[in-house]
Structure 1
Amino acid sequence: MAEGLATSEPPSEPVAEPARPAAAAADIPLLRIDAVVKQFGGFRAVDRLSLDIGAGEFFALLGPSGCGKTTLLRMLAGFETPDEGQILLDGWDIGKLLPHERPVNMMFQNYALFPHLSVRDNIAFGLKRAGMAASDIVARVAEMVALVKLDGLEKRKPDQLSGGQKQRVALARALARRPRILLLDEPLAALDKKLRESTQAELMALQRRLGTTFIVVTHDQDEAMTMADRIGVMDKGRLEQVATPRQLYEAPASRWVAEFIGDINLFEGQIEPRDSRLAMAPRLTVTTRDAGTVYVAEPRQPVTRTSVCVAIRPEKVKLSRYGPAPNTDNAQAINRLEGVVTDVSYLGGTTTYRVKLDSGVVLRSSMANTARIDVDAYGPSQRVVAWFTPDDCLVLEQ
């Protein structure tokens, strides 16, 4: 029997849900994780983590290996028990319930399909264990087969299926019991790039159709950014930031998040006193070692320290042979750096340039390829001007 599968299925008689507390209100989140701690010996895998996830949300837990995201997922599934804190589903505590006692199901990374059972029987397995009537099982399996587009493959065994087809069987089996929450542990890791991208779109469409809350664990930033409504970025057992994909990318809460999510240019510096003589919208002036004076748009949140880090995404950095005129009243020209192109990477839709500035530091620029033949492309050893506006910059406190 596949590892973990037996413990994730219900017994022959369905278990009644615990009574919901009288205080539970309609506006409480579907899932509330409250100051949860999980330790293994002296190692704290999850460290007083709190998080709310709403009904019908597609949520991603993203982070490096060993950050605690899979441990958290296993606690939600019931395969691990919190040492401290609570896991509340619809207002009642499920933290100490066994896996089959909670309306949650988990799709494993290796799919955990029974090799000796057909597609139909793999999907039906949990329904039979739950004591569902035979006629209802037939109807539910047919519904799941149609849902994940496995028509015509019902009699095949797992070794007769492609990786993508196995993934669909595992998904259908996990959804057959109609869980309140579906947990997905690196669900697309075994698929090739093209199939992974198409499956991402199918998962998103399926989740919207069903309205089921999906919680996916992944280390793939593109995967999380593509599929999730919100993302929780984890490191060392804690949530560093919870936000929408756009907020995470455009307004990271810390230098660590900024560096973890996508590519970014960073310049350390000091905020200078304001110069009221400059005829421009409110700006901060930051003196940096590697980029000289950089002007940054006023942050929404007050900056409490003078030592900061200026961050600019590569796609915000423009390149040209001469650059705009160096006029401080011109927002387009206010940040202007010169250097030499050292590397060029053509990626189809974009071209990435590495520019060694006169200070010696390397600046990355990513520019869209809008024409089939780009006469303005830059080559190695070519001298260029890199420029960006104050609105393109972020200020991150050290």
Structure 2
Amino acid sequence: MLTTDGSVTEKLTGARAPLLRIASVTKRFGGVTAVDGLSLDIQPGEFFALLGPSGCGKTSLLRMLAGFESPDAGSILLDGADIAAVPPHQRPINMMFQSYALFPHLSVAGNIAFGLKRAGMSRAAIDERVGEMLALVQLQGLEKRRPDQLSGGQRQRVALARSLALRPRVLLLDEPLAALDKKLRQSTQAELIALRRKLGMTFIIVTHDQEEAMTVADRIGVMDKGRLVQVGTPRELYESPNSRWIASFVGDINIIEGIVVAQKGSLLTVKTADAGTVIVTGTAKPVAGMTVPIAIRPEKIRLSAETASSELANALRGDVVDIDYLGGVSVYRIKLTSGAILRVTAANLVRSEAAFFAIGQHVSLSFPPDACIVLDK
């Protein structure tokens, strides 16, 4: 018999049972399939991010987890029990909306206490819990203010406190930081991570911001057209994308195509029109004559004013045609002799103007074979 914490399954299989199991879930709105046969396991205490472009189905999936929408097919299991028939207010799952949805006529304390009153808690228990939540989100002293007397960041904290007050098993976050400025968004991301660790709760966040997903999440599920394209840790998605689409969507990337002309162990010799002949480390099993896309992250390419050594596996020449100065790094666009453009990111380690490359400057580029990602498709 499966216990609610999955301990029996863990003892028998050595693996922890998922808290949430989404099994072949499909959701249609008229003739549009928003979620298409999606399956996913989410573990207890995990911070999971659903990442994807607008219209990919991530919010529709979140609303089904919350109970605001019902699947047309498939099942959603919480601790092994199907929750399809459980209404939203009876699920141990709370959702924090992008708009925060605070009650304008209620104070901060009143907003946080709203769900607790509906749950029938005593006045003393409500006051104690509200005090805990105010301390948790660092809003002590503001309990009597109304939402229109708060900053955007403070309203976000009230919405978070209200969502956490009932101590749900799962907290759903629908683009909760989208309205915040960059500095406040970064500090709030850190606070969310700390809260999740302190509470031991499972968080699921929906976002289209790649940097945000990679900052807060233990694992990320990238969605496109209602399907999960890849699930992995931030490092796995960035360093080992399973397709050209993922490589292009997650982070910045250079992609060149070529034909495999030789293979020696894990090293492939690939002839390209853009970068000549390059040596790459292959993880798949391409064969001679096969056309393969090769992905190279901009920060993996070394840029130099000196002529690259002939001993380097991959050495190219080009001219700087554009520069984006971003403070900590500069992004250079380099036009190769073939006419192709490669993006190269270099850390700005010193302040001296002489350390930077200039538009029009002739430069050398190089990258090791293991900096390349040979994509399957």
The normalised TM-score by structure 2 is 0.95
Which residue, out of 317, 321, 326, partners 2:305? 321
Counterpart code for 2:277:
T
Aligned to 2:273: 289
Runs of 4+ deviating beyond 2 Å: 22-27, 301-305
Deviation at 1:374, TM superposition (A): 4.8
Aligned to 1:132: 121
Deviation at 1:286, TM superposition (A): 1.0
Aligned to 1:214: 203
Aligned to 1:349: 328
Counterpart code for 1:334:
A
Deviation at 1:326, TM superposition (A): 1.5
Which residue, out of 37, 43, 68, partners 1:79? 68
Within the alignment, does 1:371 sit opposite 2:350 as a pair?
yes
CA distance in 2: counterparts of 1:361 and 1:76, whole angstroms: 46
Deviation at 1:166, TM superposition (A): 0.2
Other structure's SS at 2:241 match:
coil
Which residue, out of 144, 163, 188, partners 1:199? 188
CA distance in 1: counterparts of 2:120 and 2:290, whole angstroms: 65
Other structure's SS at 1:322 match:
coil
Which residue, out of 76, 80, 85, partners 1:91? 80
Deviation at 1:235, TM superposition (A): 0.2
Aligned to 1:302: 285
CA distance in 1: counterparts of 2:260 and 2:50, whole angstroms: 34
Within the alignment, does 1:269 sit opposite 2:258 as a pair?
yes
Other structure's SS at 1:380 match:
coil
Aligned to 2:130: 141
Alignment root-mean-square deviation, CA: 1.8
**Per-residue Cα deviation, 1:207-254 (whole angstroms, up to 9, x for no partner):** 100010000000001100100000000000000100000111011111
Equivalenced residues, count: 369
**Per-residue Cα deviation, 1:135-166 (whole angstroms, up to 9, x for no partner):** 10000000000000001100000000000000
Counterpart code for 2:196:
Q
CA distance in 2: counterparts of 1:78 and 1:260, whole angstroms: 30
CA distance in 2: counterparts of 1:396 and 1:298, whole angstroms: 9
Within the alignment, does 1:117 sit opposite 2:106 as a pair?
yes
CA distance in 2: counterparts of 1:310 and 1:35, whole angstroms: 33
C-alpha contact (below 8 Å) 1:270/1:287 kept by paired residues = yes
Other structure's SS at 1:131 match:
coil
Deviation at 1:322, TM superposition (A): 2.4
Other structure's SS at 1:201 match:
helix
C-alpha contact (below 8 Å) 1:24/1:90 kept by paired residues = no
Deviation at 1:302, TM superposition (A): 3.0
C-alpha contact (below 8 Å) 1:59/1:215 kept by paired residues = yes
CA distance in 2: counterparts of 1:127 and 1:207, whole angstroms: 21
**Per-residue Cα deviation, 1:327-381 (whole angstroms, up to 9, x for no partner):** 2xxxxx1111111100011111101100011111110000011112252311001
Other structure's SS at 1:360 match:
coil
Aligned to 1:253: 242
Aligned to 1:56: 45
Q: Percent identity?
A: 63
Which residue, out of 12, 18, 37, partners 1:29? 18
C-alpha contact (below 8 Å) 1:323/1:387 kept by paired residues = no
CA distance in 1: counterparts of 2:303 and 2:73, whole angstroms: 53
Deviation at 1:42, TM superposition (A): 1.2
Within the alignment, does 1:362 sit opposite 2:341 as a pair?
yes
CA distance in 2: counterparts of 1:222 and 1:396, whole angstroms: 22
Q: Tell me, which stretches of 5 or more residues in structure 2 are unaligned?
A: 11-15
Aligned to 2:319: 340
Q: Alpha carbons of 1:323 and 1:56: their partners in 2 closer, same or farther (altered >3 Å)?
A: farther
C-alpha contact (below 8 Å) 1:307/1:397 kept by paired residues = no
Counterpart code for 1:368:
A
CA distance in 2: counterparts of 1:80 and 1:171, whole angstroms: 22
Other structure's SS at 1:272 match:
strand
The normalised TM-score by structure 1 is 0.90
